[in-house]
Amino acid sequence: MSSRPNIEVEELRRKIFDLEVLVHSLQDRIEVLEGEKISDSFNLGRGENDSRSASARASLAASPGKVDQLGSRASCEGPSWAEREDIAQGIGQFIKRALQGDYRGGSGRDRLKLASKYYLIFRDRDGLTSLRPVRIETSFKAVKDCCFAKSKVADQSVFVGVPSLREARIVVSEADGILPPGFSEL
């Protein structure tokens, strides 16, 4: 009899997490469309550098289809390629620090207001590190299956979403990893 309430509680927690992801996604879409920075005051009790909120916002940050899989701009407003490459380098340096156990700080992913199409998984919820090659997924559900425990990002998980393979290459290179076969040729 006690298992039914536990199942309901877990289901409600999953629904709350999904709603938080949606809220962050919609905030980021508004920022992109209006070109204005929304105050970070609505953060559902999470810190600015919290990997859960950053990864959730990164997963659906802007309207899909604005950047193709090779990173070509399709008439979208946003940072130049030089800026995007700088951001990707910073993200890669963050990943490298995270894998070494150094103070993480912010990854810088929040500066890139484009939807993630590629998710780079450097360490899963069990602490298994993948650098040679880095694990790449194209759905956030796969990231949740690999990096989340009980609907929360596991403490040892290290992953990031990026909008194009161009940024993925830079992030992986800066983190001293390699892309899996099939991704390096694109």
Report which residue type is found at 3: S
Query: For residue 161, what pLDDT band results from cuts at 50, 70 and 90?
Result: very high
> Quick one: pLDDT at residue 53?
42
Average pLDDT of the residues in 126-147: 91
pTM (2 d.p.) = 0.58
Lowest mean pLDDT segment, chosen from 43-47, 63-67, 133-137, 141-145: 43-47
Nearest Cα residue to 56 out of 141, 180, 136, 127: 141
If you average pLDDT over residues 106-132, what whole number do you get?
A: 91
Could you tell me if residue 48 is inside a domain?
yes
Does residue 170 contact residue 89 with C-beta atoms inside 8 Å? Answer: yes
Domain enclosing residue 130, as ranges: 3-174
For residue 5, the model assigns a pLDDT of 74
In a domain, 86, yes or no: yes
Is residue 58 included in any domain, yes or no?
Answer: yes
Whether 150 is covered by a domain: the verdict is yes
**Number of domains comprising the chain:** 1
Percent of the chain with pLDDT over 90: 35
What is the C-alpha radius of gyration for the chain, rounded to an integer number of angstroms? 17
Residue 183 lies in a domain: no
**Under 8 Å between Cβ of 175 and 131:** yes
pLDDT tens by residue, 4-46: 777 777 778 777 766 766 666 666 566 556 553 433 333 333 3
